């Protein structure tokens, strides 16, 4: 019995110490914002000029890529394995390579991407690439600055299909009863896409938030709405924590809270971890990748990228098909974990071939896969991250929850951190990459007046106003949920909801794979 008593004493002491640390340290520490420098060499003064930018890939770069694709060596498949359960199906990968090599036209995609307004500027020694798209002059009475922050593996280009709709809904034949549009700023996290990689250690999600806040200050945008998806939700959240007076509304399409930082939720978490449906309400289920088995299957990348990003970075930088396999696996199972049972990973249910190849190209051409993964290492386990992750967010917050997104927390957990949730929206379908999965149509609708703008919305209020978007309405992605009394550029205040909807299904691509 002595070993058991000793073990229980150790566990009890650890819990007491942790709770004391949480209550005494976290709640008493004031968040700090400091300047740093991540450029090459000694600290230098930033070039604050904002310069137009356009994608311009040389023909030599494209030919070198084609040569690598032609010389790809594929892995031998295991007999009777023709789906994505063990990773990307080798037969599908060959099909993908052939389309990339013989059908895909980068020049067409490059031209389309360059139709957006791209810029660069230097902040903390880093070249920051961003899209800054404004509504047509004098066309809209109300303009709301909106910051869109991507996750991994992504870039500002993730929002390429919705930027025009957000900035000019009337021009796209969409409803806009109050003649309202968004001024969109979509920055690319340093180390991803065409933002330069940090040359020094320490650039995590918190640093990215600080850099983006400086970008908005340089653009002379004092107040704005902020949206975050995937790991971008951490960046968006951190901006709201740093500058709550600037972030007039926060919207998250991915929202996860580490329950270990909130002791009051431990019992609920443990109960639900053993039986997700123990509690009657769907939203109280424990859904961080849903089950322990799925966690083991789908989170290995976090361990790799948070510990040895340089090793895997070398491998993926040297092989375009290796890079594609690593990324396509995420687009498959993060859209719906059941996709791993399909021959094509369910990829063509939500994406088309061109979009998938373009996503890989945005990482291959700048050679950024290694630097993009390093942000995990510079975030997880860092003291600053610990403080920010445990600190409450007071900005008005809207949460959109997609049923097939494997990364999400129940509402009860979210309220421990996001203490002013004014809108919680359940979608009838959809997964992790909402902006890419369902970007087809947009419409603006005026939000009905509800009593949800109090500092702390009650459970009953949230439940009563928790909208479910049914599939018979067409897919509707609430890009911004309830954000009361948000000042726009002209100083007017109006509660609005922006809806992105998809009325059509994507066409299934042919995938001629013989059964093993």
Q: What is the DSSP string of 100-141?
A: HHHT--HHHHHHHHTTS-EEEEEETTEEEEEEEE-PPTTT-S
Q: Is residue 500 exposed (0-12), middle (13-18) or buried (19+ Cβ within 10 Å)?
A: buried
- Is 265 a domain residue? yes
Query: 24: which DSSP letter?
Result: I
- Is 255 a domain residue? yes
pLDDT of 505: 32
- Rounded Cα–Cα distance for residues 89 and 77 (Å): 8
- For the question of residue 376 being annotated catalytic, the response is yes
- Is 477 a domain residue? yes
Calculate the alpha carbon distances from 37 to 43, 45, 98, 194, 509 in Å: 6, 10, 43, 19, 46
pLDDT confidence of 84, banded at 50, 70, 90? Answer: very high
Find residue 397's DSSP bridge partners. Answer: 250, 421
pLDDT confidence of 264, banded at 50, 70, 90? Answer: low
- Structural contact between residues 227 and 148, judged by C-beta atoms closer than 8 angstroms: yes
pLDDT of 299: 79
Catalytic residue among 83, 158, 168, 230: 230
Catalytic residue among 129, 432, 475, 478: 432
- Is 420 a domain residue? yes
pLDDT of 490: 38
What total of structural domains would you count in the chain? 1
- pLDDT exceeds cutoff 80 at 457: no
CATH number of the structural domain spanning residue 181: 3.40.50.1820
Highest mean pLDDT among 199-208, 252-261, 338-347 belongs to: 199-208
pLDDT of 473: 30
- Structural contact between residues 129 and 118, judged by C-beta atoms closer than 8 angstroms: yes
Calculate the alpha carbon distances from 320 to 49, 64, 364, 371 in Å: 34, 11, 7, 16
- pLDDT exceeds cutoff 60 at 255: yes
291-345 pLDDT tens trace: 566 667 777 888 899 999 999 999 999 999 999 999 999 999 998 888 989 999 9
Q: Coil, helix or strand for 317?
A: helix
167 Cβ contact partners less than 8 Å away, ≥ 6 residues apart: 133, 134, 135, 181, 182, 183, 184
Rg (CA), the chain: 23
45-60 pLDDT tens trace: 999 999 999 999 999 9
E strands, 320-454, are 397-401, 421-427, 441-446
Is the C-alpha dihedral spanning 104, 107, 108, 110 positive or negative?
positive
209-250 pLDDT tens trace: 999 999 999 999 999 999 999 999 999 999 999 999 999 999
pLDDT confidence of 453, banded at 50, 70, 90? Answer: very low
- Structural contact between residues 123 and 162, judged by C-beta atoms closer than 8 angstroms: no
- Is 37 a domain residue? no
pLDDT of 407: 78
- Is 97 a domain residue? yes
- For the question of residue 35 being annotated catalytic, the response is no
**What is the pLDDT averaged over residues 448-459?**
35
Catalytic residue among 376, 388, 418, 478: 376
Domain that holds residue 81: 51-502
Q: Which two tokens stand for residue 109?
A: 């995609």
Q: Which two tokens stand for residue 249?
A: 């509304």
Residue 87's region, left for phi above 0, alpha for psi from -120 to 50, else beta, is left
- Is 32 a domain residue? no
- pLDDT exceeds cutoff 60 at 184: yes
Lowest-confidence segment of 31-40, 86-95, 392-401, 428-437 by average pLDDT:
428-437
pLDDT of 211: 98
- Is 3 a domain residue? no
- pLDDT exceeds cutoff 90 at 501: no
66 Cβ contact partners less than 8 Å away, ≥ 6 residues apart: 101
E strands, 34-179, are 51-53, 118-123, 126-133, 142-149
- For the question of residue 117 being annotated catalytic, the response is no
pLDDT of 408: 77
């Amino acid at each position: 019995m002595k070993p058991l008593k000793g073990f229980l004493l150790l566990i009890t002491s650890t819990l007491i110490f942790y709770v004391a640390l949480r209550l005494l340290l976290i709640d008493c520490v004031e968040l700090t914002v400091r300047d740093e420098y991540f450029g090459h060499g000694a600290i230098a003064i930033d070039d604050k000029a904002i310069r137009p930018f356009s994608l311009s890939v040389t023909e030599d770069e494209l030919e070198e890529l084609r040569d690598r694709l032609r010389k790809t060596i594929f892995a031998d498949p295991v007999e009777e394995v023709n789906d994505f359960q063990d990773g990307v199906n080798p037969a599908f990968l060959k099909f993908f390579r052939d389309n990339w090599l013989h059908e895909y036209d980068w020049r067409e995609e490059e031209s389309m991407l360059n139709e957006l307004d791209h810029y660069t500027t230097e902040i903390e020694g880093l070249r920051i690439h961003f899209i800054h798209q404004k509504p047509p002059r004098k066309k809209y009475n109300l303009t709301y600055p909106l910051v869109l922050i991507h996750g991994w593996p992504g870039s500002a280009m993730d929002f390429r299909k919705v930027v025009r709709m957000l900035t000019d809904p009337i021009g796209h034949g969409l409803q806009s009863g109050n003649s309202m549009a968004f001024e969109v700023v979509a920055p690319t996290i340093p180390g991803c896409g065409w933002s330069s990689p940090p040359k020094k250690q320490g650039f995590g999600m918190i640093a990215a938030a600080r850099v983006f806040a400086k970008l908005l200050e340089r653009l002379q945008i004092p107040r704005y709405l902020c949206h975050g998806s995937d790991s971008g939700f951490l960046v968006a959240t951190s901006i709201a924590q740093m500058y709550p007076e600037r972030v007039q509304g926060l919207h998250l399409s991915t929202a996860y809270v580490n329950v270990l930082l909130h002791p009051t939720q431990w019992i609920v978490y443990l109960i639900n971890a053993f039986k997700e449906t123990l509690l009657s309400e769907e939203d109280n289920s424990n859904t961080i990748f849903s089950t322990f088995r799925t966690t083991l299957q789908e989170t290995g990348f976090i361990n790799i990228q948070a510990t040895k990003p340089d090793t895997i970075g070398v491998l993926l930088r040297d092989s375009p098909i290796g890079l594609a396999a690593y990324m396509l696996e995420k687009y498959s199972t993060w859209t719906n974990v059941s996709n791993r049972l399909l021959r094509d990973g369910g990829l063509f249910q939500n994406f088309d071939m061109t979009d998938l190849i373009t996503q890989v190209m945005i990482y291959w051409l700048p050679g950024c896969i290694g630097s993009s993964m390093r942000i995990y290492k510079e975030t997880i386990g860092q003291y600053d991250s610990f403080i920010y992750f445990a600190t409450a967010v007071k900005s008005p917050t809207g949460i959109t929850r997609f049923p097939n997104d494997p990364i999400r927390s129940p509402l009860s957990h979210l309220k421990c951190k996001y203490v002013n949730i004014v809108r919680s929206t359940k979608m009838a379908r959809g997964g992790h990459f909402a902006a890419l999965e369902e970007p087809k149509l947009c419409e603006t609708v005026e939000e009905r007046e509800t009593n949800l703008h109090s500092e702390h919305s009650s459970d009953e209020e949230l439940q009563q106003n928790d909208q479910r978007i049914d599939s018979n309405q067409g897919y509707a992605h609430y890009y911004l949920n309830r954000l009361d009394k948000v000042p726009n550029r002209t100083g007017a205040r109006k509660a609005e909801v922006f809806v992105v909807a998809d009325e059509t299904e994507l066409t299934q691509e042919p995938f001629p794979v013989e059964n093993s």
